[in-house]
Every structure is written in structure tokens, then in C-alpha cells.
Structure 1
Amino acid sequence: MKPLGVGLIGTGYMGKCHALAWNAVASVFGEVARPRLMHLAERDAALAAERARAFGFAKSTGDWRAVIADPEVDVVSVTTPNAFHAEMAIAALEAGKHVWCEKPMAPKLADAERMLAAARASGRVAIIGYNYIQNPVIRHMGRLIREGAIGAVTQARVEMDEDFMADPADLFSLKSEASSGYGALDDFAVHPLSLLKVLVGDVEAVIADMGKPYADRPTADGGRRTVENHDMASILMRLAGGVPGVMVVNRAAFGRKGRIAVQIYGSAGAILYDQERMNEFQLYQHAGRAEERGFRTVLTAPHHAPYDRFVPAPGHGLGFNELKIIECRELHAAIAGQPFTALTFEQGIRIERTVHAMAESHAERRWVDVA
């Protein structure tokens, strides 16, 4: 496959993460042709030029449409705030570009469905940025579950907690606006849902409750503004095959930084994982002498592919940005028509529908099936 021409829209936290991945993917995965970093867009032309120099892009612009119109761009990374994903991704697909869009697809389900329709009509690859599923630990856990290492799955529990919205004195921001979505559900809970999807299966029904720890927040001008979405949610779920599940998410959990605690229980054992210790997992297998049974910790090592592409020694660990490089490799595979591990719009729409079913459940105080 010829080198891909890359366009990047948005250069914040996730924009830089994508840029690092595009710059590193060929060095880590030698079978990938080195991408050509062609065109970068930011809201301000001067900022775009500055970021293009820093990230290694040939051209820059203050108009994202120029990136999509560029004939040298084959694939577009969309890393803007959630509310802009749909318009940009659809425009890119209609222009014949492949798309790598950060999660979630869009705050409104109708927009996410339009994104899926555009991907289907274009015939191009469109994936969503769920890089946690690329962790060699998660891949290995999934393999163990599929092979029956813990027997038949009997229950799944997952919690996601961070504290970036915990301080009531912090100023009102975009994340508290209704335009950004439901809050903890689509900004946040989509990540544990992606892990459940690859480890256990899709969510089939939910009953949810959402909460606001703070009714309003201070503004820069000394006033106060009403918080328009929810920073926490608690959900009971029925997963594929009737497996019961529980999910609790909280963006205002003091002391938590990047916690996604996954507990999968089976008829012959259990697997535990915590994103704050992302290079290890705990495995319990109900075998052998009773007095010697217990959880054992498994550390990542070169035999947990593709860990070996980064580090030749066990226990040294990978980080968030390395998972994005792996995701970039999977995008290349998808575009080349090879087997790949990533969630496309076709697969990811189920997560969007699940989030909206949770919001509907909260509003109507009842169980809701995920369509």
C-alpha cells in the first residue's frame, strides 16, 4: 500500500496524540509505509501554522474544509470537540477520504447514524478512537475469555472514574454544556463500553440513573452558570447471552485519575483489570489445591503482541500514546483490506445507541432495550 497522505483537524490533547501516532507508526511497525503528513487545521491560522511546524505537517490552515478538499490527503483524523465530529467526518467521507474520528461519534444519535450512512455510502474506512481496546493486556484478556480460561462468563462489572470535574470551584467549561452531550455517558462511559464489547459482547438492555454533584459552576466573569449535563451515572445492564452487568462512571471522583476497573467473573475463575495499572491484570482460576488458589498478577511482556514492537523486555510497560500508535497500525490494516482490530462506525454505532438508551432509561425511569 502506498504511503497515506494524512490530514489532521484539531490539535489539542487528542490531536497531538494522533500526530504522535502518525509520526511513529512506521518506526514501530516496519511493514507500514511511512505516512505523509500533509495538512493540518486549527481554528486559528497562526495556531495551525505553529502546530504544523511542531507536529511535522507540510501545510496548515484555519479552515478545516481545506484539509478535506486537499487531493494529497487520503485519510483525515478528526480530533475536535464532540459537537463537530459529525459535520467533519461526513464531509471527509463524502470527499472520498478515510476517517479516524475520536470518540464518541456525535452527541446526537441522529448525527451518529448519519455518519454511519456516510461511511457505508463512501466505501471508505471509518474507525472510532477507542485505543484502550488496543492494550496488549485487553487483547490477552479477551483471548483467555474466548478460550474458556475462566469458564462461562457469569457477570461483568466496570467502573470508570476521574476527578477532572471534581472541584466545585472549577470554572464552567464546554464539558458542562448540553451541546457536548450527556456528560459522563458519552464523554466517558463509551470507553468502558468499548472494553465490554470486545471482552464480553454488546449491551442488550439497560436501566440507568444519572447524577449531578453540582447544580452550577462559577464563570470567569464572576457569575454562575447551570450545569447542563451529568457527571456521574450508575447502570444495570444485560449483555449478550443474558450476562448481567453493572457500570458506574464518575467524572467528579476525587483521587481517581484514569481508572477503568474491569471485573469479569466466570464459572471457573475471574479476570480483573484497572486502567491506572494498565500493564498488568489479575487472573484467578478455580483449579489445583484449594489452599493454593488465589489471584495471580500477569505483567505485560514481549509475548503479549504487539508489546514486542515497542519494548524487548517484560514488565517495562506501555502508555496511552503507544496504544494510539497500535490503533494507527490497525487503521492501516483496515485500509489495506487486511484483518484489523479496531471499532468501525458500523460496530461503534452500537455503543452510541447504548448511551442513548441509558439516557432514555434515566428520563423514563425504566428498562430500555438497545436497538
Structure 2
Amino acid sequence: MIGVGLIGTGFMGKCHALAWNSVGTVFGDVPEIKLVHLGEANDELANKKGREFGFAKASGDWRAVVNDPEVDIVSVTSPNQFHPEMAIEALKAGKHVWCEKPMAPALVESRAMTDEARKSGKVAVLGYNYIQSPAFRHIRQLLDEKIIGDVNLVRIEMDEDFMADPEALFFWKHEAASGYGALDDFAVHPLSLVSKLFGRVSRVMCDMAKPYADRAVAGGGRRDVETYDIASVLMRLENGIAGTLLVNRSAWGRKGRIAIQIFGSKGSIVFDQERFNELQLYVTSDRPTEQGFRTILIAPQHKPYDRFIPAPGHGLGFNDLKTIECRELISRLEGKPAHIVDFDEGLEIERTVHAMARSFELSSWVEVR
């Protein structure tokens, strides 16, 4: 049996609850999951969400979750600035940790989280669920098989429009305490894809921008925006591949878009998450009269799509990826190989983000250290 604790019940907290509730139904080969203890900012909210999510206990103090002897693993889904203390305290209490990305606003905090995970010997992983997409996994296979030859350029973008409205109110993601902005709130996701496909980034050149200098505050007045909604980055990967990364939280019309283009000596691969269940493949091995991008629809042959749906073309969604991630986490708990981003790999992503921020400050190329 796995006893689960959950801290936070917002968007990602609900995603974790859905994953813990569904992983057994979808995969069947997992231990019994017991939803033990939910923590929120106050008792009233905790009790309400505890009932909705199916937890046996609920508390208005997250430390009660961490210290509950029935809890084996803690899902940390609080705002970014609270991740370090919560994750470290959970590890010190002998719990495994499933923490949402990014690790922390400050690199020193991410290092402390990683050090504690190593010292504890517990499993500590991060919520990079986009790497679980069957489409992405198939891209990995195509690259391993050299279907498009040697890769020379990867171009990746992530755009959403939840901050595009200049009249939207100031909220916590506009505070410097939450991090740099799109760079660590967003860019970590495409960087997780780059990490799994190509390895580490060695050098970066970054520019950032604020489309709106200030925002209205609930109750009256205005407040300066302290984070950057836009970032543009040139990258050089350790294996010599060139790369570009573009992220924007203020892109009207874009809805959870992660678009990756991979160019090789014998073809190209294109994936756009707004078309979540398909990818595009171009190969020069086709006859010249038939050369062109072909559309590959994700189907039961693209594991683990088959665990959800027996027919091609019906499609998976965001929460399904979280369920797949939960299954991979359980594999790691069982000491088996797992397709997951642990704290060590997550720290490398954080180093890359902070190198990008330094590059912006210095207006120059910066080595990722």
C-alpha cells in the first residue's frame, strides 16, 4: 500500500489527486493507493477539498501532512516559493516526494532540495508530465533509430495567453518571489523535453521582456509587475546541437502550446501540443515525388496510449499524462527503471534557467554551471 499526502488543491493539486485516484484503474499493476491526508491554507478549505478529492484526513497546516505516520509520499503542489521548505521537511520526515515544477525560485534552494533528497535516500521527483506524452516518446524512438539522421537544430516554443490581457489583475506569479516569470514558470517544461531528447545545455544567450509594466490590484491602485512574461534564448547543447527557446505567457490565442521542431540531416520532426495527439514527420528517404510531411496519429501502438483507449485517433489529455507520470513514479518507488525527472535532473534544468537569467543581466553568452 502507498499512503499519499497532498499539499495544495489548486490546478496542479487537483491533477495529482486525479492521478492518484486513476492510476490503479488505468494500469492495474500498482499497489493499493490510500489517500491519507490533504493539507491546505486553512481548515475550511482543507476539509472541503478533502471531501471532493477523497482524502481520509484534511488539515489547515501542511506540516500535519508531512508528519503523518500513515503518509509514505507527499505530493507538493503549492506555489513555487513554498516548494523548498515543504519538500525538504517531507524528506527529513522520511517521506518520498512528488513536487511540481519548478523546483524553487532560487538556485541555492534547488541545490538544498537535491542535497536533502540524496541524503535521505528517498525518491524525489518533479512534475514534468509533458515528457510522458506517447507522441513525445515516439519522437525519442525516431531519434534513437536515426530516422531523420543527425540532428543539427532544435527549435522549441511554449506559449499561453493567461497573462495576455493588460486589464487582468496582479497576482502571485507577478511577484519576484515566484521566480523570473516565463523563464522558470514556463521554460522549464520545454527544457525537460530537451533534456530527455538531447541531454544538457552548455551555453545560453537570453533576452526577457515585460509586455505590461504594471497591473491593477484588487481593491484599488496598481502595482509594478516584477516578473518577465516573455523570454527568447539561443542555446548550444553539450553535444554540439544548436537550439532556440521562445516562451511567452502573454500570447493571445495560444492555449498550452509547446511546439518543437527538430531538423536533421535526413529529415525533420514537428510536434505542436495544441494538436496533442499527432506529430509530423518528413524524411528524405521518400521518393522525391512523394516527399512531404506526413501526419502520424497517436494510437495504441504508441505506449502507454493503449492503457487508456483501445482505438487510434481518440486522443489523450493533460490529466492522462499526469496519470502516466504517477505510474512512472510508482516504478521508481519499486526500484524499477522509470521515465521521470528526479531532483538531480531537475537541478540541471534549474541551472540552465538561472544561467539564462544571468545572460539577460550581463547581455552576453553564459556557460551553464
**CA offset at residue 199 of structure 1?**
1.6
Q: Residue 259 of structure 1: which of 257, 260, 276 is its match?
A: 257
Q: Residue 337 of structure 1: which of 335, 338, 345 is its match?
A: 335
CA RMSD of aligned residues (A): 0.6
Q: Residue 323 of structure 1: which of 321, 324, 332 is its match?
A: 321
Aligned-partner residue type, residue 189 of structure 1 = A
- Alignment match, 1:347: 345
Q: Residue 220 of structure 2: which of 219, 222, 229 is its match?
A: 222
Q: 1:127-138, aligned counterparts within 5 Å?
A: 127-138=125-136
- Alignment match, 1:232: 230
- Determine the C-alpha separation between the residues in 2 that align with 1:224 and 1:6: 41
- TM-score (normalised: structure 1): 0.99
Deviation string for 1:123-151 (max 9, x for gaps)?
00000000000001001101111110110
CA contact (8 A) 1:25 1:34 kept: no
SS in 2 for 1:57: coil
**CA offset at residue 288 of structure 1?**
2.8
Q: Residue 244 of structure 1: which of 242, 245, 248 is its match?
A: 242
SS in 2 for 1:301: coil
Aligned length: 369
Deviation string for 1:154-192 (max 9, x for gaps)?
100001110001111111110100000000001111111
1:65 paired with 2:82, answer no
Aligned-partner residue type, residue 251 of structure 1 = R
Deviation string for 1:82-101 (max 9, x for gaps)?
00000000000111100000
CA contact (8 A) 1:177 1:227 kept: yes
SS in 2 for 1:48: helix
- Alignment match, 1:93: 91
**CA offset at residue 80 of structure 1?**
0.2
Aligned-partner residue type, residue 221 of structure 1 = G
Deviation string for 1:248-301 (max 9, x for gaps)?
100001111111110000011110000111100000111132111010000110
Deviation string for 1:33-55 (max 9, x for gaps)?
12100000000101101111111
- Alignment match, 2:150: 152
Aligned-partner residue type, residue 324 of structure 2 = I
- Alignment match, 2:207: 209
- Determine the C-alpha separation between the residues in 2 that align with 1:288 and 1:87: 54
1:312 paired with 2:310, answer yes
- Determine the C-alpha separation between the residues in 2 that align with 1:222 and 1:67: 37
- Determine the C-alpha separation between the residues in 1 that align with 2:95 and 2:236: 37
- Alignment match, 2:179: 181
- Determine the C-alpha separation between the residues in 2 that align with 1:35 and 1:288: 49
SS in 2 for 1:7: strand
Deviation string for 1:58-92 (max 9, x for gaps)?
00000000001100000000000000000000000
- Determine the C-alpha separation between the residues in 2 that align with 1:271 and 1:60: 46
- TM-score (normalised: structure 2): 0.99
1:15 paired with 2:13, answer yes
- Determine the C-alpha separation between the residues in 2 that align with 1:84 and 1:304: 37
- Alignment match, 2:281: 283
- Alignment match, 2:268: 270
